[in-house]
Amino acid sequence: MKSKVVVVTGASSGIGEATAKLLAEKGHKLVLCARREEKLREVASSIREKGGEVIFLRADVTDIVQMEEVAQAAIAEFGRIDVWVNNAGLMPVSEIIKDKVDEWDRMVDVNVKGVLYGIHACLKIMREQGEGHIINMGSVAGHVSNPASAVYSATKFAVRALSDALRKEEAEAKSGVRVTVIAPGAVDTELLSTITDLDARRDDEEFYASTAIPASDVAKCVDFAIDMPPEACVDELILRPTLQVH
Ligand SMILES: NC(=O)c1ccc[n+]([C@@H]2O[C@H](COP(=O)([O-])OP(=O)(O)OC[C@H]3O[C@@H](n4cnc5c(N)ncnc54)[C@H](OP(=O)(O)O)[C@@H]3O)[C@@H](O)[C@H]2O)c1
């Protein structure tokens, strides 16, 4: 199998960390970013201990210049970008009536604009290469909207919408760039730590405790999408825990 250069945003914990570790084991070269540098260093050390190739950068996905710097670092170190995984995200859910406007803004900034800035940073490079693969982390919340998750769901619907349009644009242009959405259900990560509304957090903690699957299961979906032959594009992959109803 061809070794690819893979950028993962939000690689300091959860799905991003698990994805980075699995892809490194599969022989890919990793470029990791997130805001917590110490956590990134730990992930990178564990990859290097197993013989993997990895670099990491402190970067915030809401800063377009920092996203460009991540792309430049990947090119400087490895000469190309084969896959860019827009994984960074947060989920401070609450009912609209709670009026947590700052958290609405933050979710739109990270979950939507952060994905767009990632695409901005890598798309022209992939077009010039004549191939590439953009993988955006959606959610089942991009298909169903439930009480307390209006804004989070809206951001994940947006990820699905922009990914679908981008996939069609790249297909029409015959650019060789593939676009995939991975849409997990409940996954055991640090995601619930961003919830400040105590009612919503209690509900989600109970649900996740009984239902959530490990982040390594989602990493396998990313690996599957990457591993498909270049003429085949996994459009969207929805992965629910077996016990998750909605
Ligand atoms: N867990 C689930 O049940 C679930 C289900 C469906 C979809 N997802 C999606 O999966 C993705 C990963 O979440 P997770 O579950 O793995 O949660 P997590 O453990 O909290 O990981 C979130 C990651 O995003 C990074 N991040 C947050 N804000 C950032 C910013 N402004 N700039 C750069 N990095 C940022 C965090 O790193 P720093 O704090 O170090 O920056 C962290 O590495 C998210 O898009 C989430 O919506 C999760």
Tens of pLDDT, residue by residue over 52-101, are 999 999 999 999 999 999 999 999 999 999 999 999 999 999 999 999 99
Q: What percent of the chain has pLDDT over 90?
A: 99
Distance 196 CA to ligand 1 centre (A): 16
pLDDT of residue 118: 99
Is the alpha carbon torsion for 231, 232, 236, 239 positive or negative? negative
* Ordered structural domains, the chain, with CATH: 5-239 (3.40.50.720)
In the chain, which residue ranges form alpha helices assigned H by DSSP?
A: 14-25, 37-49, 64-78, 101-107, 114-129, 150-172, 198-211, 215-227
Say if strands 83-86 and 132-137 run parallel, antiparallel, or are unpaired.
Answer: parallel
What confidence score (pLDDT) does residue 2 get? 85
Q: Which string of DSSP letters, residue by residue, matches 65-123? A: HHHHHHHHHHHHHHS--SEEEE---------GGG--HHHHHHHIIIIIIHHHHHHHHHH
Q: Is 117 a catalytic residue?
A: no
Catalytic annotation, pick one of 152, 166, 201, 213:
152
Axis crossing angle, helix 64-78 with helix 114-129, rounded to the nearest 10: 30
pTM, entire model = 0.98
Tens digit of pLDDT for each residue in 110-129? 999 999 999 999 999 999 99
Pocket test for ligand 1, best of 8, 13, 111, 116 (most atoms within 8 A of CB): 13
Tens-digit pLDDT profile for residues 186-213:
999 999 999 999 999 999 999 999 999 9
Q: What is the pLDDT of residue 1?
A: 64
Q: Name the band, by pLDDT with cuts 50, 70 and 90, for residue 42.
A: very high
